[in-house]
Structure 1
Amino acid sequence: MNKLILPFLFALSLVSCTPKSNFLIERELLQMLDEKDYFRIEIFLEEKRSELSKDIVLYVEAHLQNAFNRTEQSLQTIDALLSHYDKSLNDTLLLNVYQLKYDNLLKRSIYREAVEALEIAMNRYGYVLDSVALANMREAYNTVEPLKELPPQKIYLTDDVTIPVSRNQFSHVIMRVSGNGQSEDFVFDTGAMFSTISESCAVRLGIRILQSAVNVGTSINSKVQSKIGVADKLQIGELLLENVAFLVLPDEMLTFPQVNYAIHGIIGFPIMYQMKEISIQQDEILTVSVRPKKRDLRNLFLDGLSPIVQFEVEGDTVLFKMDTGANTSDFSEKYFSTHKDIILAKGTPRIAKRGGGGGIIGQEVYDLENVRLKIGGQEFTIPTITVLPDKFSFFENYDGNLGQDVLMYFNKFILNFEDMYLAFEN
């Protein structure tokens, strides 16, 4: 499902500015929100709080709470904002408030209320969008609307669970998923904003089809037609899940004859999000912890249904999408634009093939060698990271994609959605 990305408009006529709010500070803060650098926003808000109006403070706090996975708090803040300050916000900001409410509810799989929030965003405030953004919003609505009668997804976890996993030829984490008396191998993919299954596998695992002909975006900027389905019960190792929503794609969209490979299904963000803390070891063991470990670390936030990691590259602070479905890490067009002279001087150009749900394409890239990283207090060097100079929508706002080459550099990585961190252990 595409994440709706709505640019903030900074003209004076479109930004709320009460007499108690410093317009220049407010504009800078909203621009930072547009860039989604929530760690900087958090610090900036605390420094400038006294110079901002209450409505803007609540507006920004609701976004921060959403980004750092405090969805219930974010919903409460949104309720306070709409109850007391709805007349202070212009329609562009109100559009974003309802979109944020939708995102909170979607994460909690409260589908009916999520659909209602998105309807308000489209019907009352959609006129402020351009045609592309409005079409993306309708696409999101068409994907979630069939789920509005579905109870929230539920995962039964009473003790730590250990799940055997394996690796395919692309270093993807593979786990066995069972349903309807059948089992199949699925890819475990933090880069998948929606769990996905092929049509033939959906039949085998007893997936109920709720609606067909939904357009979804892919990792290569194309659109494919999917169906929406639900697994009433699903088993992953000893984990029992109920009411699991899936995008159901034609088999050919998940088949890659060029490399003799087919994907049967993908365990995406909505499932792993409910696991709270996941650790994956080099010896192919995945552990789901019922009591996540507290650490003096927070380097993770959520952009909709995508986990974003903050770390350092050659001393510069960057934001990368975390993608266990990618066997290698990549720098984005944003990073290329910022470091173009260095990349052209030191990088090695080549033509690379890139694929995902939707097919494979070729593009010119640059390889950088011996790249120094610092993540979660761990410093290390990756032999090669590729730079993608072309713009991809799924990279927007971010410096790159964090794949298996980095994630499996150490013996174990821990992904914690409760305290919001990515950590490594030897």
Structure 2
Amino acid sequence: MKNTVFLLLILCFGCQQFQNKTSDYKVFQELQQLTDTQNYFKLKQVFESQKDKLSKAHELYFKAILFNIFNNLENSNLVIDELINQRAIHVTDTLLNTLYNTKLLNHINLYEYHDAVLTSDIILNKYRQLNDSSEIASLENELKIWTSLRHTPKQEIIRNKDVAFPMVRDKVGLFNVDVTINDTIKNFVFDTGANMSVIKRSLIKHFDLTYIESDFYVTAFTGQRVDSDIAIAETLRIGELTFKNVVFLVLNDEDISFPQIDYYINGIIGFPVIEAMEEIRISKNDTIRVPKTPVAYNLSNFALDGLTPIIAVNYKKDTLSFGFDTGARASTLYAPFYQRYKNEVDTNYELQKFKSSSAGGGVEFEGYIIDDITLKVGESKASLKNLQLHKNKIGTDANNLYGNFGQDFIKHFDEMIISFINSSVLFK
């Protein structure tokens, strides 16, 4: 009898272990698929509801990923270090490769360039075989940036009170702000969709910036490669905000010029500078307000894919991930939108060709013009007209985003609030 009871206990324990492993595997696969397809908002929802079914290693793994996506970078690195250093928790090399890539993004967004170099070296030397050729090429190219910056201090912001400064719309409707560097003022495009700030080469000496020849390339929206170097502004002012150690990508003047429409820009204030403000409020009278103390929001409809901001957009009953680009005059729909709503699009619209332009030139695309579509963010919705829908994938990287979210939605409201520290966007 004792042996029988003992055997039953073993069988029950083994059955429980099998059930736990099966449950962990199913939830892990679902969460991984959501991560791979950039469905970050559902990823967070499913993780919160299913995390008790994950193993300790897998729970910490997705916690690190989510901390990164929703801009809690220090905690993401703490969890990653716990996973890497705890020998009691087994983590496969495949997951470690992803964790080190996430750690790299955290260091970049925290302006920790020396640590970015060290982490890049680990990936390239220890986990090279787990990254495909395009990922290796990207890592090696970007390593040139972080190596150039490895002795550069972290970017800082000095903000002693609530601040407001004007912006103006240029001839193509993009937001521009006055930027002061070494007592010289120039207007720059203000663009959350720019992964890094940009300056044209002819202004380096004019601003007396620290110039670093770096010999790397950036990929424009069109997929074309554009040669670039680095410049550092030790002090930069926007209104009454002061920034220290601001990094600019240096592009040739012709690479950020559009002579076909007589349009030329000095540069772009991109996401790393804008995100440092923690919260911005853009009003309909073209004023940007930055509070000294950000307000607490809990919408969690704003995420980061590396340095690319992502916003949750509702269409019909679906929540779709869009790139969030305040520098874009109009919203655009991408190939995943076409694939998801193919029957609806093919039934109502004719296939045609249209052109798009960005740094590096213009490219002709095949797609559709959607004459009227209603999109919603949070509790705010607006009807948008004549949106370009790309039938095929654009750019060189895999992209699962459903579109790019621009000013045509923003202009329907009196105020847009972006809380970077609370991962929330709302319209009033």
Work out the CA distance in 2 between the residues paired with 1:306 and 1:86. 35
Q: Note if contact 2:155-2:245 (Cα within 8 Å) is conserved in structure 1.
A: yes
The gaps in structure 2 that reach 5 residues or longer are 1-19
Aligned amino acid, residue 73 of structure 1:
N
Q: Note if contact 1:20-1:53 (Cα within 8 Å) is conserved in structure 2.
A: no
Distance 1:354 1:86, change over 3 A: farther
Work out the CA distance in 1 between the residues paired with 2:260 and 2:350. 25
Cα deviation 1:269-310 (Å, max 9, x = unaligned): 000010011111221111112212223522111111111111
The answer for the alignment partner of 2:405 in structure 1 is 402
Q: How does 1:44-55 map to 2 (within 5 A)?
A: 44-55=46-57
The answer for the alignment partner of 1:421 in structure 2 is 424
Q: Note if contact 2:145-2:214 (Cα within 8 Å) is conserved in structure 1.
A: no
Q: How does 1:26-425 map to 2 (within 5 A)?
A: 26-85=28-87, 88-393=90-395, 396-425=399-428
Aligned amino acid, residue 291 of structure 2:
S
The answer for the alignment partner of 1:8 in structure 2 is none
Work out the CA distance in 1 between the residues paired with 2:367 and 2:201. 34
Work out the CA distance in 1 between the residues paired with 2:22 and 2:120. 31
Aligned amino acid, residue 401 of structure 1:
N
The size of the alignment, in residue pairs, is 409
Question: TM-score when scaled to structure 1?
Answer: 0.92
**RMSD over aligned Cα, in angstroms?**
1.8
Aligned amino acid, residue 125 of structure 1:
Y
The answer for the alignment partner of 2:5 in structure 1 is none
The gaps in structure 1 that reach 5 residues or longer are 1-17
Identity across aligned pairs (percent)?
32
SS at match of 2:188: strand
Distance 1:224 1:290, change over 3 A: same
Aligned amino acid, residue 281 of structure 1:
S
1:392 to partner: Cα distance:
1.9
Work out the CA distance in 2 between the residues paired with 1:45 and 1:423. 24
Work out the CA distance in 2 between the residues paired with 1:90 and 1:33. 17
Q: Note if contact 1:198-1:264 (Cα within 8 Å) is conserved in structure 2.
A: yes
Work out the CA distance in 2 between the residues paired with 1:395 and 1:423. 28
Work out the CA distance in 1 between the residues paired with 2:132 and 2:378. 39
SS at match of 1:30: helix
Work out the CA distance in 2 between the residues paired with 1:188 and 1:388. 25
Q: Note if contact 1:213-1:225 (Cα within 8 Å) is conserved in structure 2.
A: yes
Structure whose CA Rg is larger = 2
1:36 to partner: Cα distance:
2.4
SS at match of 2:294: coil
Cα deviation 1:30-57 (Å, max 9, x = unaligned): 2222122222222222333232211111
Moved more, 262-271 or 368-377: 368-377
